[in-house]
Amino acid sequence: MGFAEFQEAAHEAKKIAFSFSSPLIVHHYDADGLSSGAIVKSAFLGRPHRMWGIKKLDDAAMEKLMNEREIIFVDLGNNERVRELKDVLIIDHHQVKETGKPQINPMMHGIDGGSELSSSGTAYFVFGKNADLGLVGALGDMQYPLTGANKTMCEQGIASGEIRKEIDLRFYGRFSRPLAQFLAYSEEPPVPGIAYSEERAQKLLEDLGIEPRKGEEWRVYADLDLDEKRKLISAIAELISRKRRVEGLVGEVYDLPKRPRRSALYDAHEFSTVLNACGRHGKPELGIAVCLGDEAAYLEASSFLALHKRMIREGVLFARASMSDLGPFLFLDARGIIDEGIIGVVCGMVLQGAQKPIIGIAHGEGDIKVSSRTGRRTGINLGNVMNVAAGKVGGIGGGHSVAAGASVPTDKVNEFLIEAKVVIEMEMAIRQKAKD
C-alpha cells in the first residue's frame, strides 16, 4: 500500500488504455470529470476515440453502453452492471465497488480519493501529462489544501512550468475581473460594507489611492504591486473583522502560466468554475474543448459562466434565508427554486464554517436530487450517509466523506431524511465513543 504501489498500478493502467484500439471515454460532467476526461482525451490525440460526458452512471446510461467494445470510465464506474461490459478500464477516485474490471483508483492503495487525489490527479499519474488540469479537477472537488499525492502532482506541475504557486488573496477573479467587481462580488467571503456594490468598492479603492485603470484598460488584482496588494488586503481584513473572524482570506493560490493571461483559465480555481458551468449546464463537450485550449470554446463557455455565477448567487441568497436546522444537520429544501445541477455548489458555499453537515434537495429528472456537504472537522462520512439512507428508500447515493449526493424517489423525501438523521447520529456516536 502506498504511493509507489499506486504509481505502478497507474503504469499498468496506461498500458491497458493504449491496448484499446478505439475506446469510448465516458466521463463525469463536473469539473473533476471534465478535467480528467480531457487528460485522457489529450493522451489519445491522434488515436481513434470518442467522448461522452454524463451526469450519472445509472441504468439508462448503462443500457446505451451495452454494445460498446472498449470503454474507459473516468470519474465514474460504480455500477454493478459494469461487469456485463466487454473491455473496460476505470479511472476513478470514489469508494471502490468490485466490478471484476481493471481499475486505477487511489483508494485501492491507501490514498484518500476524497481529499488527497481526485480523478484528474489519477489520470495525470496514469498518462504523465497536464498537471495543470490535474490541479483544476482537485480544486473543483474541494481538495484544498493540497496534501499527499495532490501536493506531489502540484510540485511536478511547478517543475514543468504548468503551475505557479503563490500565497495571496483567495478571491475569485485575480486575473479576470476589474478591481471593483473583484471586490464587490467576492463570495469567499463577501466583504461587509462593499459586498454587491461596485460603487462602494470603487470608493474603497479611491480611499486607498489604488488606481482602478491603467490608461484605457481596467486593472485586475494581479496587476497591483506588492504595496498596493498589502494595503488592499489589510483594508479587507479590517472590514471583515468588524463582523467576524478573518479566516482563509489569504492562502495558497495557483496560476496556470500556460493558459491565457487575463482569462478565468489563468487561475486554477476559476478554471474549475468555468468547467462546472459548462458541465452543469449540459455542455460537457465545451468544457473538454476549453481544457484542450480551444479559444472559441472559451468564449462560449464565458456566457455559461456568467449564467452559472448568477444562478449560484441567487441560490446562495435563497439558501441563507431559508435553511433550517434539523438537529444533526442543516436542511435546504430548494425544490423548484435551485437547479439540480448547482444545488451541491450552493450547499458548499453556504456551509462555510458550519459545525454540522448540510443536506439540500432539488427536483431531479423524475426523482429528487440530494446534495450534501460537510467540513472535514465533523468527521462524518457523507458518502456512507447518502449510500445507506438512499438505499433504504429505494434510491442510490454515494460520494466522498465531505461531498456526496443521492437520487431518491419523489415520495420518499421524508423517509430519506429520517434515515440520514439515523446514520449521521450513529456516526457521531461512534466518533464520540472513540474520543472518550
Site map for ligand C5P, 82-121, x if CB under 6 A?
Answer: ------------x---------------------------
Indicate the residue among 165 and 392 with the shorter CB distance to ligand C5P. 392
Stretch that binds ligand C5P, among 46-54, 178-186, 270-278, 400-408 (CB under 6 A): 400-408
Indicate the residue among 169 and 334 with the shorter CB distance to ligand C5P. 334
Indicate the residue among 130 and 401 with the shorter CB distance to ligand C5P. 401
Q: How far apart are CA 390 and CA 406, in angstroms?
A: 6
- Is there binding between residue 396 and ligand C5P (CB under 6 A)? yes
Contact 173, 179 (CB under 8 A): no
- Is there binding between residue 381 and ligand C5P (CB under 6 A)? no
Number of residues that bind ligand C5P (CB under 6 A): 14
Q: Taking the CA atoms of 375, 380, 383 and 389 in sequence, report the sign of the dihedral they define.
A: negative
Site map for ligand C5P, 38-67, x if CB under 6 A?
Answer: ------------------x-----------
Q: Residue 26 belongs to what H/E stretch? A: strand 24-28
Stretch that binds ligand C5P, among 157-165, 171-179, 212-220, 399-407 (CB under 6 A): 399-407
Q: How far apart are CA 287 and CA 37, in angstroms?
A: 10
Contact 279, 33 (CB under 8 A): yes
Contact 98, 127 (CB under 8 A): no
Q: Cβ 400 to ligand C5P, closest distance in Å?
A: 6
Indicate the residue among 140 and 178 with the shorter CB distance to ligand C5P. 140
Indicate the residue among 256 and 413 with the shorter CB distance to ligand C5P. 413
DSSP percent split of the chain into helix, strand, coil, nearest 5: 50, 15, 35
Q: Cβ 140 to ligand C5P, closest distance in Å?
A: 10
Phi/psi at 370 (nearest 5 deg)? -110, 135
Hey, is 45 helix, strand or coil?
coil
Q: Cβ 346 to ligand C5P, closest distance in Å?
A: 10
| CB within 8 Å of 40: residues ≥ 6 apart | 17, 25, 27, 72, 74, 91, 123, 127
Which residue in 403, 417, 420, 424 binds ligand C5P (CB under 6 A)? 403
**How far is Cα of residue 237 from the mean position of the Cα atoms in its chain?**
27
Stretch that binds ligand C5P, among 259-267, 299-307, 313-321, 405-413 (CB under 6 A): 405-413
Residue-wise DSSP of 142-197: T--S--HHHHHHHHHHHHTTS-EEEEEE--TTTTTSBHHHHHHT--SS--TTTTT-
Stretch that binds ligand C5P, among 180-188, 261-269, 393-401, 426-434 (CB under 6 A): 393-401
Q: How far apart are CA 16 and CA 70, in angstroms?
A: 11
Q: Cβ 199 to ligand C5P, closest distance in Å?
A: 35
Which residue in 53, 284, 364, 397 binds ligand C5P (CB under 6 A)? 397
Q: How far apart are CA 304 and CA 283, in angstroms?
A: 9
Contact 52, 67 (CB under 8 A): no
Indicate the residue among 95 and 176 with the shorter CB distance to ligand C5P. 95
- Is there binding between residue 398 and ligand C5P (CB under 6 A)? yes
Which residue in 119, 272, 371, 401 binds ligand C5P (CB under 6 A)? 371
- Please tell me what DSSP assigns to residue 76: -
Binding to ligand C5P (CB under 6 A): which residues in 315-344?
Answer: 344
What residues line the site for ligand C5P (CB under 6 A)? Answer: 56, 94, 344, 371, 396-400, 403-407
